[in-house]
Amino acid sequence: MPRTRAQTRRASDEEYWRDVEENGFDLDLSHPQLDAQIELLNSNFVSPDQWRLFFNNYFRWIVSDIDDALRVARMPDYATLENTNFIDGGFDNSFYPNEALDIREQQRLVEQATFLYDEFFSQMQDSINQNLRVSGIVRDSLTHIFRNLMEYVDTNDEDTNLAHYSESMVILDLLVNQRLFYLYMTGDPSGRTRRVVNTHPTYYIGIWIRKGPIWGVGNNDEYGFDQLRSFVCNFSRRIVNYMFYNGTTYHLGNIVNVHSTYRGHLRGGTSNQVKNKSKYKKLFIKHSVNNAIGRINSLLLDIVMNIQFKSKQYISFYKKNKSNSNSNSKSKSKRNSKNQEQI
């Protein structure tokens, strides 16, 4: 049975934020239809295996026609991306060294690039142990996405493997693109259609409800809103560049804010420089200000209303007393004036 509003309010903070981890967003406890929100989540539960199946299907749908995906996403076409700098959104040409180099040097560079990308893919699937400051639903999504990328670059043909490695960061951009997500889920890339198409499995409705932290669409007051898309857009290519410059992975615990749009080179990061905090203590630090205010307003609503009521009573009492005081003053002034005339 879904919890009532009172039961939710009485829930311990740790339990509450554990629910946030599972659902992917913070319930607004001041919402007049809170019980309906909770019931909606409970009735559209998404199991770990269903999340895995969803990302498998979504990944295959995108790579089945990359040219069309780029068009829908309003990104440059394939040929343009081949000539675009990697850090600016292009393919990674590290897998195609300068042909003027010695053949052994070319092979060494390709092997180095392959090794670093494999390390990167493995690291992203282990983000929970790297203290990446995102919600649980985002860490799980990273695991599913990079598991698919590892499978994508592992074919029976070496040339195909290299092409897929080179494309991988562009495919990552496509996976978090909002227009593509809307098209896949609703059949309309504009976002104006708000219903999952009936050809999808029923559990897709549960994924649609929890879309905010992953694709950054929906209610931007939600806890963890737009964490995955922001991480991919703001850090994925910079982490790969860091690995090529330093020959090692960048520890994800050093990323303070996934929403930071700073584009400079990453520095340090060879170890976790963040003090260890408990899982749920970190959640308190990260939750959105708007929802924090909403929770406080909800919990203190009765007190606030009582204060307002008492304030109105006080103002009314003050005005009444002031009126009586003025009236008495005027009467006293008149009596004094008459006494002076008699004298």
187 & 41 share domain:
yes
pLDDT tens-digit profile of 127-160? Answer: 878 888 888 889 999 999 999 999 999 999 999 9
- Closest to 174 in 3D by CA, of 87, 232, 258: 232
Q: Which segments of 177-324 are extended strands (E)?
A: none
Domain count across the chain: 2
Cβ atoms within 10 Å, residue 32 = 8
45 & 139 share domain:
yes
Mean pLDDT of 109-136: 91
First to last CA, the chain: 87
Using CB atoms within 10 A of its CB, is residue 232 exposed (0-12), middle (13-18) or buried (19+)? buried
Domain of 262 in residue numbering reads as 5-288
- Closest to 167 in 3D by CA, of 251, 263, 59: 59
Mean pLDDT of 19-46: 65
**Does 284 map to a domain?**
yes
**Does 293 map to a domain?**
no
pLDDT tens-digit profile of 72-91? Answer: 999 999 999 999 999 999 99
Q: Which amino acid, 297? A: N
Mean pLDDT of 7-30: 57
**Does 79 map to a domain?**
yes
57 & 85 share domain:
yes
Helix axes 279-286, 13-23, angle to 10 degrees: 80
What is the C-alpha separation between 295 and 291, in angstroms, rounded?
6
247 & 324 share domain:
no
3 state SS of 32: coil
Helix axes 103-124, 158-175, angle to 10 degrees: 40
DSSP, res 188: -
28 & 145 share domain:
yes
Could you give the count of Cα atoms lying within 13 Å of 79 in the half-sphere of its Cβ?
0
314 & 224 share domain:
no
Where a domain ends, among 248, 268, 288? 288
DSSP characters over 52-71: HHHHHHHHHHHHTTHHHHHH
pLDDT tens-digit profile of 252-262? Answer: 989 989 999 88
pLDDT band for position 340 (cuts 50, 70, 90)? very low
Statement: residue 310 has pLDDT above 90: no
329 & 280 share domain:
no
Averaged confidence pLDDT in the chain? 79
Statement: residue 61 has pLDDT above 50: yes
pLDDT of residue 44: 84
**Does 295 map to a domain?**
no
Mean pLDDT of 275-299: 39
What is the C-alpha separation between 152 and 315, in angstroms, rounded?
71
Q: Give the length of the chain.
A: 343
Statement: residue 34 has pLDDT above 50: yes
Is 0.75 topped by the overall pTM? Answer: no
What is the C-alpha separation between 81 and 220, in angstroms, rounded?
31
334 & 219 share domain:
no
What is the C-alpha separation between 296 and 101, in angstroms, rounded?
64
pLDDT of residue 294: 41
308 & 274 share domain:
no
pLDDT band for position 107 (cuts 50, 70, 90)? very high
pLDDT of residue 290: 40
163 & 22 share domain:
yes
pLDDT of residue 272: 55
Q: Are 179 and 189 in contact (CB under 8 A)?
A: yes
216 & 102 share domain:
yes
Q: Which region among 161-165, 183-187, 248-252 has the lowest average model confidence (pLDDT)?
A: 248-252
141 & 75 share domain:
yes
**Does 163 map to a domain?**
yes
**Does 145 map to a domain?**
yes
DSSP, res 2: P
**Does 20 map to a domain?**
yes
